[in-house]
Amino acid sequence: MMTGATGFIGGHTAARAIAAGHEVCALVRSPQKLDELRVAFDLPVIDHVVGDMTDPDAVEAALEGADAAIHCAAVVSLDARGNAQGIENSIAGARLVLHQAHALDLDPIIHVSSVAALFDPGAGSLTVDHPPSSAGFTYGQAKADAEMVARKLQADGAPIAIVYPSAVIGPPAGSAFGEASEDMARFTATGILPTRRAAVAISDVRDMASLIVALLERGHGPRRIMCGGHLVDMDLFATIYRNLTGRRFPMMPLPPSALRGIGRLADSIRRVVPINPAMNRFSMSVLTQWEGSEDSDLAEYGVQFRDIEETFADSLAAWHTGGLLSDRQIGKALPVPEPSAAPTPPKGFRMPARVVLSRPFRTLGPLVVPRVHRAINRITRGRTLLDSAAQPMLMLYTTGAKTGETRETPLGAVPLEEGRFLVVGSNFARDHHPAWTTNLLANPKAEIVYRGKRTPVRARLLAGAEREARWQTAVAWYPLWIQYDAVTDRELRLFVLEPDIDGEDS
């Protein structure tokens, strides 16, 4: 039986338990979130009971027939107005689930706690023997009070295994990213580290799930397992992020005390405005006063924490996919697209290289060639241009960046999948970018006419790994672009034109 199966750690744990051959019954408040989890991990239908962990009847129904229990659920609101209820529910839920599981002789009973339950500024490196926290942080207090429930049962001989994870990040479990993961994504988005004198303990959610499932063996009695994971100071944090994203991540010269003050201020604001920023008194205290932990030997359970850079790389990808980070914020960690599905360039007539690269053509071409194409376009009412199967062209209609007027430009184009096109700002290898590229940067919405069909499009300038991948496709169609690129010192702007569905609707 599991509580918290639709949460971040709980979701990964449920999936890992099912993969290991266990039968899971989840106590959930939202069957819809359980379905999202099932789809995300490609799981079979998960047995469940709908109810709350503070409801005795629901807990009893979920525990019926169970051999073991995993208690992952906790209710703690960062909204100051909801903290009291959150603490009360967390304690009541832990008491009800753990006591009922023990009364039914379940073995083992796993309680997922947190290093926050033991964290106390100045307490030194945490061990499993540290007393529950008395620091007075709301989140820590909720975890510490639930910890007391579990420890009292352990003292009575209950086979409860208490697990102490640190800040847990990694891929989401369905729609659940985890609070620490979302907070770290917010810091990542800023591109700035608040201070040099700080550190954070980080573990991978997949490793935590493996550990919890590995504990599902009878007969081991009461246990406590500390798993702080990797201790990452700000220098290492900046190095990892620079390696993965290519961004600088400068450090602000703020003293730790200032950060704690900002956290207290944010908590005060939150009492009036229901905001949920990464900065709060608890997180800033842990960030600036964390002294590490003495982790248990996880090799005993067949678990080894994966490389921290792998955890960050997978987390960045997940945050980007989930909309927590933009393309710019993820930088060079943006996934490299699969090789283009564009068709193989057909054989046919292409303008000879000696002509296109000659000085007379590069001088007169900009004056003559566009006019010829525009004339043919008007005569045929957009049905054709002076092109061939091997050298297709389209007519691009942009909005002037300065004038706001419609501009008509014939362009060599590379047809891609799903009605998309690549276009290159070659400009006859002249030293400046063509005006149409500036227009697209100012207003990405445009229209094209290709083979007589007029289509609204949205332009996107390619960069980094994506540009490199698409550039290879472009020059496969137009090898002369390689020579053009060599002639000029500027990087030729490469755009993908994608059908604008909103434009079609309007």
Q: What is the pLDDT of residues 339-364, one digit of tens each?
A: 444 556 666 555 555 555 566 766 67
pLDDT attached to residue 159: 97
Q: Measured between alpha carbons, how far is 32 from 98 in angstroms, rounded to an integer?
A: 26
Averaged confidence pLDDT in the chain: 85
Return the amino acid letter for 195.
T
Tokens, residue 374: 């525009």
Contacts of 380-384 with CB under 8 Å at 24 or more apart are 382/449, 382/452, 382/454, 383/451, 383/452, 384/451, 384/452
Model confidence at 55, pLDDT cuts 50, 70, 90, reads very high
Which strands form 167-169's sheet, in the order they lie side by side? 167-169, 199-204, 230-233
Residue 1 has pLDDT above 80, yes or no: yes
Name the more confident of 29 and 370: 29
Pairing of strands 167-169, 47-50: unpaired
pLDDT at 459 over 80: yes
pLDDT band of residue 144 (cuts 50, 70, 90) is confident
Please give the share of the chain, as a percent, with pLDDT higher than 70: 85
> Which pLDDT score is estimated for 213?
96
Phi-psi region of 210 (alpha: psi -120 to 50; beta: other; left: phi over 0): alpha
Average pLDDT over residues 239-243: 91
Residue of 391, 415, 449 lying closest to 340 (CA atoms): 415
At 332 the pLDDT is 84
Taking alpha carbons only, the member of 278, 95, 72, 131 closest to residue 194 is 278
Return the pLDDT at 261. Answer: 87
Specify the higher pLDDT residue, 104 or 418. Answer: 104
Q: What is the mean pLDDT of residues 482-501?
A: 83
Instruction: Please state, in angstroms and rounded to a whole number, the distance separating the CA atoms of residues 20 and 18.
Output: 5
pLDDT of 333 over the 70 cut = yes
Place of tokens 């227009």: 439
> In the predicted model, is pLDDT for residue 389 greater than 70?
no
Q: Which residue has the higher pLDDT, 304 or 376?
A: 304
Give me the pLDDT at residue 113, please: 93
Distances (CA, A) of 146 to 140, 210, 353: 10, 23, 76
State the pLDDT at residue 386.
Answer: 64
CB hemisphere CA count around 482 (13 angstroms) = 10
Tell me the per-residue pLDDT of 75-121, one tens digit each, with 9 for 90 and over. Answer: 654 444 445 666 788 889 999 999 999 999 999 999 999 988 888 88
All residues at 6 or more sequence positions from 352 whose CB lies less than 8 Å from its CB, including other chains: none
Per the model's pLDDT, the better-predicted residue between 505 and 401 turns out to be 401
72-76, 279-283, 290-294, 403-407: range with highest mean pLDDT: 403-407
pLDDT in tens, 461-486: 998 888 888 888 888 888 777 777 77
Report the greatest alpha carbon distance in the chain.
94
Asked if residue 430 has pLDDT above 60, the reply is yes
Query: Residue 72: pLDDT above 90?
Result: yes
Residue whose entry in the numeric block shows the structure tokens 């990694």: 170
Q: Calculate mean pLDDT across residues 214-236.
A: 93
What pLDDT, on a 0 to 100 scale, did the predictor assign at position 351?
A: 59
- Tell me which DSSP letter residue 428 carries: G
CB atoms within 10 A of CB 175: 14
How far is residue 353's CA from residue 356's CA, in Å, rounded to a whole number?
5
* Confidence band for 225, pLDDT divided at 50, 70 and 90: very high
Residue 329 is given by DSSP the state: H
More confident residue, 501 or 333: 333
What confidence category does residue 292 fall into, taking pLDDT thresholds of 50, 70 and 90? confident
Average pLDDT on 378-388 reads 69
Cα R_g (the chain), whole angstroms: 30
Minimum mean pLDDT among 78-87, 183-192, 377-386, 402-411: which range? 78-87
Task: pLDDT band for 244, please (50, 70, 90 cuts).
Answer: very high
Average pLDDT in the 418-422 region? 88
Mean pLDDT, residues 438-442 taken together: 94
Cα distance between residue 126 and residue 321, in whole Å:
35
The answer to whether 167 touches 203, Cβ cutoff 8 Å, is yes
Give the three-class secondary structure for 25: strand
CA distance 96 to 310: 38
- For residue 313, the 8-state DSSP code is H
Higher pLDDT, 462 or 281: 462
Q: What is the mean pLDDT of residues 305-316?
A: 93
Q: The pTM is what?
A: 0.67
Q: Stretch 207-233: mean pLDDT, rounded?
A: 94
Of 450, 451, 446, which is closest to residue 435 (Cα–Cα)?
A: 446
Q: Looking up tokens 């045929």, which residue turns up?
A: 380
CA dist list (Å): 55 to 11, 38, 398, 474 = 21, 25, 62, 62
Average pLDDT of the residues in 318-335: 85
Q: In sequence order, which residues have a C-beta less than 8 Å from that of residue 314 and are 6 or more positions away?
A: 170, 171, 204
- 225 pairs with which residues across the strands? 163
| Choice between 138 and 239, residue whose per-residue pLDDT is larger | 239
